[in-house]
């Protein structure tokens, strides 16, 4: 059966019941936190956000996303930049 119904000659989508997600992949977690995937990856690499494994895939739980979103994070990016060594290609010393 199709999820479309006709209303006065126009096809419209029926509303399906929504199901709350328990775990998110990187892309949907970044969307839920309103940040880029790269910013999320920095936080995952820094251990700020915990992940769980299911086979070869990594997921972020809904409770972990809520925990992260409920706190203030002022020094997250500065901490990850300190830990990374980026070579200066213009350094001629």
Q: What is the pLDDT of residues 30-51, one digit of tens each?
A: 999 999 999 999 999 999 999 9
- Per-residue pLDDT, averaged over 72-85, amounts to 59
pTM of the predicted protein model: 0.60
Residue 91, pLDDT above cutoff 90: no
- Per-residue pLDDT, averaged over 74-78, amounts to 59
Q: Which residues contact 32 (CB under 8 A, 6 or more apart)?
A: 24, 65
What letter would DSSP give residue 47?
Answer: T
What's the pLDDT at 74?
74
């Amino acid at each position: 059966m199709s999820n479309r119904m006709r209303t006065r000659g126009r096809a419209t989508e029926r509303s399906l019941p929504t199901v709350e997600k328990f775990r998110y992949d990187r892309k949907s977690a970044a969307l839920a936190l309103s940040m880029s995937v790269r910013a999320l990856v920095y936080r995952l690499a820094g251990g700020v956000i915990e992940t769980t494994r299911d086979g070869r895939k990594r997921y972020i739980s809904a409770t972990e996303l809520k925990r992260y979103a409920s706190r203030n994070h002022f020094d997250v990016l500065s901490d990850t930049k300190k830990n990374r060594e980026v070579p200066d290609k213009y350094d001629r010393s």
